Amino acid sequence: MTDNILVLYGSYRSDRLGIRLANYIVTSLRQRGNNAELIDAKDVGLPMLDRMYKEYPKGSAPPEMERLAAKIRGADAFVFVTGEYNWGMQPGLKNLTDHYLEEWFWRPAAIVSYSGGRLSGAHAAVPWHGTLSEMGMIVISSTLAVASISTALDADNKPFGSGGDALARAFPRFADDLSWWTEAVKRQRAHKAPPY
């Protein structure tokens, strides 16, 4: 059965290298038979959080917010691709995520991090674990972490060099872990409605 997976990315920089990683994840998930879609926070263009989606009267949320809410509700799993900004989260991705709450509930989430340096975005990945758990997602234990992003994926989103080789080797286990949790959650939701 095909899984619907949203791959969420949040850099607003003009020279974005992390988009290569997000595109690689989408392509690789599709090659495994999934229906994967990139959600680029910059393209969606939500304003800085003032009112959450649920705080709008039914049918009055901005169209881009309404469209994304429907996609989130229809997803079986999520992959958050995050860069590291000063040892923290990317504000664009966090802002997009915070516009929703119940829409995320009871589905698995995976974290893919990257940085321009050797730490692979690890300082961004850690707070995402707590944030996604608080927002009702099950965060899988497998992560992908890419150091020196400019020397790991080329302009066509293809892995190259030792960093790219490491990414290509790690991806199957990461995807298998996400697939296992996605199947488990889908079966449980079909068997028994979530408690809230």
pLDDT of residue 4: 98
SS (H, E, C) 93-118: HHHHHHCCCHHHCCEEEEEEEECCCC
**Conformation bin of residue 86: beta by default, left when phi > 0, alpha when psi is -120 to 50:** left
28, part of any domain:
yes
pLDDT of residue 85: 87
65, part of any domain:
yes
Cβ neighbours, 10 Å, residue 91: 14
For the chain, give the percent of residues with pLDDT over 70.
99
72, part of any domain:
yes
- pLDDT digits over 39-96, tens only? 999 999 999 999 999 999 999 999 999 999 999 999 999 999 999 988 889 999 999 9
Q: What is the mean pLDDT of residues 152-169?
A: 96
pLDDT at 102 over 80: yes
Range of the domain at 45: 4-191
pLDDT at 21 over 80: yes
> What are the start-end ranges of the E strands in the chain?
4-9, 35-40, 77-83, 107-114, 137-146
20, part of any domain:
yes
73, part of any domain:
yes
For the chain, give the percent of residues with pLDDT over 90.
92
pLDDT of residue 146: 96
Which phi and psi (to 5°) does residue 21 adopt? -65, -45
Which phi and psi (to 5°) does residue 129 adopt? -55, -50
pLDDT at 20 over 90: yes
Confidence of residue 196 (pLDDT cuts 50, 70, 90): confident
Rounded to the nearest integer, the mean pLDDT of the chain is: 96
181, part of any domain:
yes
- Report the distance separating Cα 175 and Cα 29, nearest Å: 7
196, part of any domain:
no
- In 147-160, which ranges are continuous DSSP H helix? none
Number of domains making up the chain: 1
pLDDT at 1 over 80: no
132, part of any domain:
yes
Confidence of residue 136 (pLDDT cuts 50, 70, 90): very high
CATH number at residue 9: 3.40.50.360
